[in-house]
Amino acid sequence: MTQHIGIHDIAFATGHYALDLADLARVHGVAVDKFRIGLGQQVQTVAAPDEDIVTLATAAGQQILARHGSDGIQTILLATESGIDASKAAAIYVQDLLGLPNAVRAVELKQACYGGTAALHLAAALVARDPNQRVLVIASDVAAYDLDSGGEATQGAAAVAMLVTADPAVAVLDPVSGLFTSNVMDFWRPTYRSTPRVDGKLSVAIYLDAVEHAWKDYEARGGHRYTDFGAFCYHQPFTRMAYKAHSRLLEINGCAATPQQLDADLLATTHYNRMIGNSYTASLYLGLMSLLDHTDDLTGKPVAMLSYGSGCVAEFFSVTPVSGYREHLRAEANRAALADRRPISYDRYRALRESAQTGAGGDVEFDAVTTSGFRLSAVTDDKRIYQPVAR
């Protein structure tokens, strides 16, 4: 990579409702600390019936276009593991809703929660080939597990949009990556299911194994030394998982994984994920946004990034914030996005989930609920109909 290429802007969108996990704990008959401390989760986003990965992705992408326009965007890459169609890319709906020109490529990428990182690196390669173009990368997911299952407390929904360019204003994507792929069945969703199959204990073990292997490959390829990093970001299926992963990295590097050290290294990355829940492909990048919004100046200090997608693929890489990056952050808007969600009762949440599970197939119209800017208005003859939300 001959040019400085990376993240020129970054924004997120989340869903309409917020469910306090104290309500879920009460129904599950467990102490709330099992969720708040054991998982590190406090609230989860619940998508409205007229929200999905397309509406979330478009709401995040619109923030990018409002600031930078669409000139030079020749590619939109949308990463998700909660896709709406086994053939047509969700990126095409987003391209249309955002009013991007027809002379673009629009592609959907999939590899569990790793897909957003794959999209980021593919975007960087496209910009390296033609530094005049810009690539819109969006990671968008709605995480839903079986009702009354152990994974239910980790659910969430969000999209993160990134504009990838040469000479970026936020962070440079550093050139070295450490990689790890292994064919394991820790988490997967067959096409006939709306919720995943999960082996939770295996998934935690494989994640930690992937951290070690990806780091060792990163070292072998001549990456930064462990002591060079100014901060650390991990994929957060639940925020305590980042603590488990970082403990493994500390141990590998001969450092003590004390509670104080773990908080010092990770706490700033967890604020948004703790209040949203798992957003799959968007999770790592919500962690990065939380870090940048809640940390003093990181200019010139590499930020370690560990991306993990079940099944599994992992990558250890880094981004380095550039001078003046803090002027381009959206901390106030990010806090407002969380505060503006509507609290939802457990009974209402349960009704929404059960309705969604029985609503597959056939024609359906959706009540106008979301205020995010874009909504799914209907499914007619298996065709999804989207429209802007009037303001």
81 catalytic? Reply is yes
Residue 30 DSSP symbol:
S
Residues belonging to the chain: 391
Q: Which of 113, 152, 233, 271 is catalytic?
A: 113
Rounded to a whole number, what is the distance in angstroms from the first to the last CA of the chain? 43
Q: Which residues lie below 8 Å from residue 58, measured CB to CB, with a gap of 6+?
A: 93, 94, 97, 98, 373, 374, 386
- CB atoms closer than 10 angstroms to residue 145: 17
Distance, CA of 368 to CA of 376 (rounded, Å): 9
What are the respective helix, strand and coil percentages of the chain, to the nearest 5? 40, 25, 35
Q: Which residues lie below 8 Å from residue 213, measured CB to CB, with a gap of 6+?
A: 178, 180, 314
Contact 112, 311 (CB under 8 A): yes
Contact 49, 366 (CB under 8 A): yes
Contact 51, 155 (CB under 8 A): no
Q: Which residues lie below 8 Å from residue 286, measured CB to CB, with a gap of 6+?
A: 12, 158, 160, 236, 272, 273, 276, 279
DSSP assignment string, 45-105: EE--TT--HHHHHHHHHHHHHHHH-STTEEEEEEE-SS-S-SSS-HHHHHHHHHT--SSSE
Q: Which of 8, 235, 246, 271 is catalytic?
A: 235
Q: Which of 28, 51, 81, 315 is catalytic?
A: 81
Active-site residue list: 81, 113, 235
